[in-house]
């Protein structure tokens, strides 16, 4: 689980993949932030109700800008690499690119994804009550917790990576894992490292439960040749990866 960043939940709206595409496209053009915000506000006008910053439309704008526009300084290198990858990305690659940015900027989303990934690996499905219990242990018993978990789950379902399971309240993978490699895989690894705040072994990274919708085809030589990573061999001969 991510540590030291459990003060603001942040991901408190259901976000559609097309909205992420729009936000990323505006950022990739290098437009001024005020122009991007204005374009997003107008884009959302017929999609989300509200005319104030505290309305659903305003909160949705905030989530989108925190993912792609007003990112923390340590996330800027990832955002810059992600933008370069967008131009030639397929729809599946775009999902992986957005996922890398969301987990890097929203630790709550990361933790929901990690818990879901663990449950799906164990039982091929996850239960909403199990997710809530695990998130309560990590984030505390907040009044907004259950509602925000639902926003994350609904977003994942809209993106096609989750669907209702056979049992009531259960969730199952919405598709076969998307195979990613090279630069796109490197973005996902960066997203995990940024959210965790520390280095990890290559084995832990490529099989991290927060990346459950994807199958990473990466080896240590590939990571060595990608920008932004430092690779060291540990005493047990395993390869340890961290951000530069």
Predicted local confidence at residue 4, as pLDDT: 44
* Domain span at 117: 108-172
Spatial CB neighbours of 46, under 8 Å, sequence gap ≥ 6: none
Give the span between the Cα atoms of 152 and 124, in whole angstroms.
Answer: 19
Let me know if residue 123 belongs to a domain. yes
Spatial CB neighbours of 203, under 8 Å, sequence gap ≥ 6: 238
Number of domains in the chain: 1
Chunk the chain into consecutive blocks of 10 residues (it has 244) and report each block's average pLDDT, rounded to whole numbers: 61 97 96 96 95 90 97 96 94 97 97 96 90 94 92 97 88 91 95 95 94 94 90 79 92
Let me know if residue 232 belongs to a domain. no
Let me know if residue 156 belongs to a domain. yes
Predicted local confidence at residue 237, as pLDDT: 67
For 28, 76, 134, 220, the CA distances from 80, given in Å and listed in that order, are 9, 6, 33, 22
Q: Which two tokens stand for residue 67?
A: 């993912």
Tell me the CATH number at 160: 1.10.10
- Degrees (nearest 5) of the Cα angle 224, 202, 85? 55
Let me know if residue 143 belongs to a domain. yes
Predicted local confidence at residue 97, as pLDDT: 98
Model-level pTM greater than 0.85?
yes
Predicted local confidence at residue 235, as pLDDT: 67
Predicted local confidence at residue 5, as pLDDT: 58
């Amino acid at each position: 689980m991510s540590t030291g960043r459990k003060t603001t939940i942040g991901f408190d709206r259901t976000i559609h993949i097309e909205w992420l595409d729009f936000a990323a496209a505006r950022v990739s053009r290098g437009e001024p932030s005020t122009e991007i915000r204005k374009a997003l506000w107008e884009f959302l006008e017929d999609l989300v109700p509200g005319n104030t910053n505290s309305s659903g439309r305003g909160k949705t704008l905030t989530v989108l800008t925190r993912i792609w526009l007003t990112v923390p300084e340590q996330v800027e290198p990832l955002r810059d690499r992600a933008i370069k990858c967008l131009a030639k990305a397929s729809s599946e690659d775009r999902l992986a690119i957005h996922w890398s940015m969301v987990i890097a900027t929203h630790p709550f989303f990361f933790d929901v994804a990690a818990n879901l990934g663990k449950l799906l690996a164990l039982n091929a499905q996850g239960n909403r009550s199990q997710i809530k219990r695990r998130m309560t242990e990590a984030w505390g018993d907040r009044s907004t917790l259950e509602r925000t978990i639902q926003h994350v789950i609904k977003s994942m379902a809209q993106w096609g990576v989750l669907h209702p399971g056979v049992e009531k309240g259960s969730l199952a993978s919405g598709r076969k894992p998307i195979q990613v490699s090279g630069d796109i895989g490197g973005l996902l690894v960066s997203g995990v490292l940024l959210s965790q705040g520390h280095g990890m072994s290559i084995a832990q990274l490529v099989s991290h439960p927060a990346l459950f919708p994807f199958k990473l085809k990466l080896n240590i030589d590939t990571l060595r040749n990608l920008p932004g990573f430092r690779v060291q061999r540990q005493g047990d001969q395993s390869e340890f990866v961290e951000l530069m």
